[in-house]
Chains A and B, each alone.
Chain A
């Protein structure tokens, strides 16, 4: 089990909390304290809107350990409204096929169990087709 790691990154995982660069205003996710755009220190927290669109996607039929129960599932690169690209699962698809450019929104979901049924439940961001107008 990786309890310390889950605990350390819970804010970014639960609610897309990243950083904003005080020098060039770039929005940063995941947070890394150094701005990838201008190279200056960037430690100001910034909560992302959770809106974005599908940049690319693929279906996982042969899942890595810990994700067997969910397969097949969709993973995607999501271009957040504020700029950064994040990798996440797409959930709640229903009959609608995924398309590049499809608007999506962040939801907090169960990612997996760490330590099986006895272990901790890891929660984090996924994206679903945009419900809001």
Chain B
């Protein structure tokens, strides 16, 4: 790597990796054809098969707690050894009062812990992950927990209503020598691009229609992926798996092809067709499905995208430790298999869309 390129890479001064990972997907599913039945007489094209919908008693706090418990179970680390609990989301239950303190309390990580909530549309989770890499990589802390989780909101009848799903994942970061996967480094590409937003006190987000594609999603993911691969001297052929932010089925498939990845490299991490766009959780939960089946030595590229806009890219290699830790918690496929289909009326009730 040239000196200029190495300056762009976010590389910790001591090697770090993933100690444990855990996912969560709620049990309810709203088929896209059910949304089409209500709003377009079934005539519209469907961006996914179905999306995951949280139950009446679920939110980003409860879902983060379960994902964090799964990550802890895999890691074998005591909760009292964790020095940071960071939750990235755009659906934190409170406007003021951290999600992370409740999660930290529930997993037994309080009180000797840093806690905070992160926001950056769909890349809030990978923002937290980069920060956790920094905290552990600088030796400020031995273990830090980063979570990306969302119960995404879509305005009734809007294009986003088909895909705005619920789910996410938690990652416990620690020293590379103890890790089940090593994170060699990351790269972030950010510009001011207003493709999607939600103003204060507004219930549903707005988006720039087609503007969300080329200058936003594709531009940022392409630049982040290319710069990272250049900095670490890899090409798509070096990766067994790749996972990209997945707002629908089409975008991640197209960006993978544009970068030179084959279909087989992205299938394992492509969950959007069956759980929808899980926003801050999307790339992160895709990675859990990959780790659930990866072999030691497999290299993985993960690139998130958050509107507003930016992408974080990560270069990851799975270690031997995956074999002994994988089965210590529920796998992502277990959550996908747990499925209760609901109709639009039940969805309206569960998501609090009834005016009373």
Contacts and interface: CB of A to CB of B under 8 A. Distances in A.
The 6 A-B pairs at the shortest CB distance, nearest first, are namely A109-B57, A14-B106, A94-B340, A110-B57, A108-B65, A109-B62
Contacts of B56: 69-70, 110
Contact of B94 (A110, A121, A126): A121
A89 B59 CA distance: 17
Interface string B41-65: 0000000000000011111011001
B107 A110 contact: no
A92 B55 contact: yes
A107 B66 contact: yes
Contacts of B58: 109-110
Nearest to A70: B56
B107 A111 contact: no
A5 B27 CA distance: 31
A95 interface: yes
Interface string B61-75: 110011000000000
B93 interface: yes
Best-surrounded residue of A11, A70, A91, A110 (most CB of chain B within 10 A): A110
B102 interface: yes
Nearest to A128: B27
B62 A15 contact: no
B177 interface: no
A132 interface: yes
B158 interface: no
15 contacts: A14-B106, A47-B108, A70-B57, A91-B55, A92-B338, A94-B340, A108-B62, A109-B58, A109-B62, A110-B61, A121-B61, A123-B62, A131-B330, A131-B334, A132-B330
B92 to A, nearest CB: 11
Contact of A110 (B62, B105, B108, B340): B62
Contact of B102 (A47, A123, A126, A131): A123
Contacts of B106: 14-15, 108, 123
A23 interface: no
A32 interface: no
Interface residues of A, number: 22
Interface string A1-42: 000000000110011000000000000000000000000000
Interface of B: 27, 55-59, 61-62, 65-66, 93-94, 102, 105-108, 330, 334, 338, 340
Contact of B105 (A14, A69, A92): A14
A95 to B, nearest CB: 7
A46 B197 CA distance: 45
B108 A107 contact: no
Interface string A47-64: 100000000000000000
A81 B58 CA distance: 25
Contacts of A69: 56
Interface in A77-98: 89, 91-92, 94-95
B57 A126 contact: yes
B207 to A, nearest CB: 26
A92 B27 contact: yes
A132 B331 CA distance: 10
Nearest to A15: B106
A69 B349 CA distance: 9
A70 B350 CA distance: 9
A11 B111 CA distance: 13
A15 B72 CA distance: 14
Given A70-B56, A92-B55, A108-B62, A131 B105 contact: no
Contacts of B62: 107-110, 123
A92 B56 CA distance: 10
Nearest to A17: B108
A15 B57 contact: no
A107 B335 CA distance: 14
Contacts of B57: 70, 89, 91, 109-111, 126
Nearest to A47: B108
B21 to A, nearest CB: 17
Contacts of A47: 108
A128 to B, nearest CB: 9
Given A109-B57, A121-B59, 9 more contacts: A15-B107, A89-B57, A94-B27, A107-B62, A109-B62, A110-B58, A121-B93, A131-B330, A131-B338
A91 B62 CA distance: 13
Contacts of A110: 56-59, 61-62
Contacts of A121: 59, 61, 93-94
